[in-house]
Amino acid sequence: MDADTRPWTRQEIASRFRALRRKALFTQSRLADLIGICRQAVNKIENARAMPHPTTWYRFCQLETKHNRPRARFPERWT
């Protein structure tokens, strides 16, 4: 999903942040480092107390897209 289609409710954004972080096994600090914000900001976003800045949302979407890419699968005879 690109940055132009940002959900407009805090709860939708919060659930996307939590879902990615849990799927990737990131801490809030690790996610914050990857998208260029502080851990406290991630906490506020995940608890629906704040909306991410548009540039933060863009970086989050880039990370989400990269992380959700399917991994290459090889035929069993190749492994």
How crowded is residue 34: how many other Cβ atoms within 10 Å of its Cβ? 18
CATH of 8-78 given 2.40.50.140, 3.20.20.70, 1.20.1070.10, 1.10.260.40:
1.10.260.40
| pLDDT the model gives residue 16 | 94
Q: Which tokens go with 48?
A: 């629906």
**Global confidence as pTM:** 0.77
* Alpha-carbon gap, residue 55 to 42, rounded angstroms: 14
**Residues of the chain where predicted confidence (pLDDT) is lower than 50:** 1-2, 79
